[in-house]
Amino acid sequence: MDAYNIEAVDENSVLFSKGEVSKELFLIKKGSFRVFKEEEGVIYLIGIRKSGSYLGEHSILKKEALRKYSAVAAESSEIIRIPYEDIDKILREGPIWLRQVFGTILSRSQTLNEFLLTHRLYDDIEILEGNALKVIHNSILEYRKSKGLKV
């Protein structure tokens, strides 16, 4: 495994987008990221992940899964990018129960997230309207174009 570098991410920069192949986990060293769900061309802010948290955990045990959400820096931030292969190696080399427990924790986390989304029970959602939402929407569209993803 390689040493991991801290990467700077500018405010309003897209870290990843819905539909992109998911290959890594992101640890948030500094700053925060807004997480968006998109349905029928409408973008919904569903949560904020802050320093000390992580993004991209839902696809760790799935090969070549597509991201379900988009993440955009809410402020100048720093992340540590950890490839899924590195996490998979640790899980394969550890005791068999480690992978099973890790899989169960991820599954429960996904179920809880879906429940919170469905019932709109997040307490850290900020309301974005007007120009702020337009800037983020444009950032996501530009990012998708640059990656050759569906716009």
Query: What domains are defined for the chain?
Result: 6-147 (2.60.120.10)
Nearest to 84 by CA among 115, 117, 57, 102: 57
Which of 15-19, 118-122, 143-147 has the highest average model confidence (pLDDT)?
15-19
Average pLDDT value for residue range 139-149: 83
DSSP collapsed to 3 states, 25-39: EEEEEECEEEEEEEE
Helix axes 96-118, 84-93, angle to 10 degrees: 130
Looking at the chain, the whole-number percentage of residues with pLDDT higher than 90 is 38
- 19-48, pLDDT tens digit by residue? 899 999 999 999 999 998 887 777 778 888
49-53, 58-62, 87-91: range with lowest mean pLDDT: 58-62
End-to-end alpha carbon distance in the chain: 35
pLDDT of residue 127: 52
